[in-house]
Structure 1
Amino acid sequence: MQYLSSSLDIDKNSAQPVYLQLASQLMALINSGTLQSGQQLPASRTLAAQLGIHRKTIIRAYDELIVQGWLESKPGSGTFVATQLPKINQRTLGDCSALGKDALKHAGFAFVTMPHLQRELTLPDNGYHLDDGLPDARIAPLQELSSAYRSQMALGNPYSRLGYGDPAGAANLRTALSSYLNETRGMQTTAANVLITRGTVMSMYLACTVLLKQGDLVAVTDLSWSGADVNFKQAGARMIRIPTDEAGIDINALEATCKKMPIRMLYITSHHHYPTTVSLRADRRIALLQLAHQYGFILFEDDYDYDFHYENKPLLPLASVDPSGMVIYSGSFSKIISPAFRVGYLVGPEDLIAELSLLRRIIDRQGDSILENAIAELLQNGIIQKHLRKSLRMYRERRNVFCELLNGLQNYVDYKIPEGGMAIWAKFDPAIDLHDLSAKALKKGLYFSNGNIHAPGNPAFNCTRLGFASSTPDELEKSMMIMSNLLKAR
């Protein structure tokens, strides 16, 4: 069977052992019908000589397939394709290297692709970045978190500490987080009101899956977070856009919509509206809660960067003054520590949290209980709170430095100093091609979004978020120098 060796493609430089390569390719030949049930294979010595490999490698591959039932050995006769295998229509013997390659690229069955999932994935690794509003991981309490994590690994009963836990999250973190939210946000929760998740995206997915059905109407602001939009589309909901202004969502427009059609849910970033950073005014907060109670719609409050407010004390969330149980409150530690640490939380009525926990159990079972307990330890010891005080001062300084630098570009960029958050909402002159500017900046080592994520398909939108928190004052100055040079060279 000289022809068989020509159908086997052995790569001696591959990380996969040669015997496994050979066994896999022989299985593919059998499965394709090229090698038929009962057909004899070359002797190990013969095939080894043809392939230029050691005979023991051939024997090991044959033995592997014999154990798995693909081959059978007949003493005194040789090695054969197992006779109990079903007969497969024989195909022309060809280059085995092509077998299975197309199957790795294209499924052999039909499935529905979902266009709304096709979102741009940005993984910037440039030296300079004016990102979407991320924290500076260099100042995060990583040593303290690492120490707490090691302690959680070593202490306590390993069977319970390292085994399966509550899908709702580690009890220590739920209790510590409940106390923390009550102290800092004026809430009156218990651990039973808290569900620990992998972050806001998971919180939204769970809530949308449980609370929305096909065709439900969800209200979002005219400019909103694309991650929320995708979750609503995935749940089969329809979205309606409500305008916003310098004081947040337009309550009159929302009420007019409620009178015309039944809204099931409203997604709101009340503290620092995403992406524009404006805070929802107090009178509108009261009116919004009244509308939710009157028309019976759910308020999903995404408080993604509550802890970073610079001009005065943070505004208490809607969830802290919700008399009717209409608010679901979401937050995470991504903006406090780093996006790499996937720990978020969802706060709501006990019965809803219990139901969401049941759903979470079948898609993720539980989170990283060691990490959750470590973060609970940092909360209980006041380390998170100390880090927040430090980072608040630092981010305020960086905001001020960045705004001074932006003043030098007032002929090109319009903005308002944000009261809080980690980014500035920048409106570029219509004569500037923001997409082109972003692309040229990237070649110079500076990343910032071209704004397409905020207004897909509208290149004339010309607004974007410029994050300042993750860069030092020196890095901000160098970033703005790159942008300034590009703008002036137009």
Structure 2
Amino acid sequence: MLRPWDLVIKLDESSSTPFYLQLVTLIIAEIKAGRLKPQDALPGTREMATKLAINRKTVVLAYDELIAQGWLQSEGRRGTFVASHLPMTLHQVPSQASSHPLATVAVMPNATFPAAERFEIIINDGIPDSRLIPFEIISRAFRHALIHTARSSRLGYSNPLGTDELRMAIAQMLNMERGLHVKPDNICVVRGSQMGIFLTAKVMIQPGDAVVMERLSYQPARLAFQACGAEVITVETDEHGMNIDQLDHICSKREIRFVYVTPHHQFPTTVMMSMERRIQLLTVAARHGFKILEDDYDHEFHYILQPVLPLACRSPESVIYVGSLSKVLAPGLRVGYIVGPEAFIQACADHIMIIDRQGNPVTELAAAELMGNGELKRHILKTLKIYDQRRKTLAAAFNKDFDQLLDFNLPSGGLAFWLTLKKTIAMQDFLLWSKQHRLHFHRDSLYAHANQTVAAIRLGFGSHDDRQLAQLLGKLHELLSS
């Protein structure tokens, strides 16, 4: 049997203990330490003898002794293996407590992924349907990228800002479709928008700085700001977006480092910030001298023909713009970007050199090819029609069968609904009942500041086909009516 790794064992030639007993002791020690586990294959006697430069009969004698003691078992021609049932219960040796505690950060409640077998339906907060990915097209782009990087010796260390090809493709897309005016030097490629948010926080925040975000917002961003030493101050949101009057009042009392917003489709409520509010926000930022961190996490998924352009296209010096290609392709393909002034982007590159040196040239070149040949655009247009139909299916069902149970506004974009429960239910009870109905939701505390209770749920629809949507609606109606 071919083993993926060699077992390293060293005998002590100066010891008076016979080699076969040394080998017996060393193999037992490896099993007790957990490096050799039940059913692991050992080298054959001839191979082991060659590695240790000893007589094969010595190895045979050691293996026979270990088999007799119950540590190993022979399976004929298949070879010799660690026994399935060891002769004693192994205990992990406790490590000594350190006098220096580990540095920790706050983690999201309910951050672990639910076990799929415990739930019939798992409701996410709005992820795409990976079944719609054009795998053949993407695999061809990856093959081209791998061949190109290998032949041109580009699989070594390169620019921490990302490949020139992808930054040029992103710049062209942003300039043509989103009204920005940027160059590749204004762009830093990152492994998803969350890394872009954290990098921005790391570059801009000093301990004690104040950051403003909406009371209901993206929890990983809030945790990133707090991990970098920021005090997070919250303002309310209404049907037009962030309450700019509250923000202006806060800025009159203390200095603000930056404001975090998701204006295109507010997370989690899906509200699109009105043009009036956008102008007010930029005006307040200019008056008080703070930056704006604009998270445009799903710009592509918009169902109105004329979407509002990003804040970054109106005030490029005041706005740090973060976007992602991960949701367009698949969340597991980690490609995002930060857009900002050149000095800020270079500071991001300096931090990347400390974190992981650079991104993945193969993935970046593949993404650049998909953008350049139009395949990414075609994929977006195709999936947008499918997501729009799923959005309309849910909206029709909510209007017809859930009128007495919940309120909602039809989202103009994104892959999720924000549903406000009409019944007076404790969210703790709702979540408990949903588990009993084998329906999984994210906890409301994932969205609210300071773990506040919100009588609402964010229901992602993008990853569910028609059959799953019908099943979801049935389960949800049964749950809310019980």
Give the TM-score, by structure 2 length.
Answer: 0.80
Determine helix, strand or coil for the equivalent of 1:152.
helix
Structure 2 counterpart of 1:467: 460
Structure 1 counterpart of 2:100: 110
Distance 1:15 1:153, change over 3 A: farther
1:426 aligns with 2:416: no
Determine helix, strand or coil for the equivalent of 1:342.
coil
User: How many Å separate the matches in 2 of 1:158 and 1:119?
Assistant: 46
The one-letter code of the counterpart of 1:321 is R
1:345 aligns with 2:337: yes
Query: Is the CA contact 1:430–1:460 (under 8 Å) kept in the aligned structure 2?
Result: no
Query: Is the CA contact 1:128–1:446 (under 8 Å) kept in the aligned structure 2?
Result: yes
Determine helix, strand or coil for the equivalent of 1:262.
coil
Structure 1 counterpart of 2:227: 234
Query: Is the CA contact 2:108–2:220 (under 8 Å) kept in the aligned structure 1?
Result: no
1:14 aligns with 2:7: no
User: How many Å separate the matches in 1 of 2:30 and 2:334?
Assistant: 43
Structure 2 counterpart of 1:367: 359
1:170 aligns with 2:163: yes
Q: Name whichever of 4-13 and 416-425 sits farther off.
A: 4-13
1:143 aligns with 2:136: yes
Distance 1:170 1:487, change over 3 A: same
1:45-72 CA distance string (max 9 Å, x none): 9977764469xx9xxxxxxxxxxxxxxx
Distance 1:236 1:15, change over 3 A: farther
**CA shift for structure 1 position 358:** 1.3
**CA shift for structure 1 position 487:** 2.5
1:401 aligns with 2:393: yes
Distance 1:49 1:332, change over 3 A: same
User: How many Å separate the matches in 2 of 1:44 and 1:334?
Assistant: 53
Q: What's the % identity of the aligned pairs?
A: 33
Structure 2 counterpart of 1:184: 177
Determine helix, strand or coil for the equivalent of 1:253.
helix
Matched positions, count? 422
User: How many Å separate the matches in 2 of 1:399 and 1:445?
Assistant: 23
* One of 447, 450, 471 as aligned partner of 1:478: 471
Query: Is the CA contact 1:166–1:366 (under 8 Å) kept in the aligned structure 2?
Result: yes
Matches within 5 A, 1:12-411: 14=38, 51-52=66-67, 97-98=90-91, 101-103=93-95, 108-114=98-104, 116-117=106-107, 119-124=109-114, 125=116, 128-155=121-148, 158=151, 160-322=153-315, 325-407=317-399, 408-411=401-404
Query: Is the CA contact 1:9–1:96 (under 8 Å) kept in the aligned structure 2?
Result: no
Query: Is the CA contact 1:8–1:97 (under 8 Å) kept in the aligned structure 2?
Result: no
User: How many Å separate the matches in 2 of 1:486 and 1:119?
Assistant: 23
The one-letter code of the counterpart of 1:216 is D
The one-letter code of the counterpart of 1:483 is L
Query: Is the CA contact 1:402–1:473 (under 8 Å) kept in the aligned structure 2?
Result: no
Structure 2 counterpart of 1:25: none
Distance 1:148 1:256, change over 3 A: same
The one-letter code of the counterpart of 2:339 is V
User: How many Å separate the matches in 2 of 1:370 and 1:320?
Assistant: 30
Determine helix, strand or coil for the equivalent of 1:267.
strand
1:202-229 CA distance string (max 9 Å, x none): 1111111111000000011111110111
**CA shift for structure 1 position 352:** 0.9
Unaligned 5+ runs, structure 2:
1-16, 44-57, 73-87
Determine helix, strand or coil for the equivalent of 1:213.
coil
Query: Is the CA contact 1:412–1:429 (under 8 Å) kept in the aligned structure 2?
Result: yes
Give the TM-score, by structure 1 length.
Answer: 0.79
Query: Is the CA contact 1:216–1:264 (under 8 Å) kept in the aligned structure 2?
Result: yes
Query: Is the CA contact 2:149–2:361 (under 8 Å) kept in the aligned structure 1?
Result: no
Distance 1:337 1:107, change over 3 A: farther
Determine helix, strand or coil for the equivalent of 2:328.
coil
Distance 1:279 1:413, change over 3 A: same
Q: Name whichever of 455-464 and 376-385 sits farther off.
A: 455-464
The one-letter code of the counterpart of 1:420 is G
User: How many Å separate the matches in 1 of 2:89 and 2:402?
Assistant: 62
The one-letter code of the counterpart of 1:316 is L
Determine helix, strand or coil for the equivalent of 2:463.
coil
Unaligned 5+ runs, structure 1:
20-42, 58-94
User: How many Å separate the matches in 2 of 1:374 and 1:127?
Assistant: 36
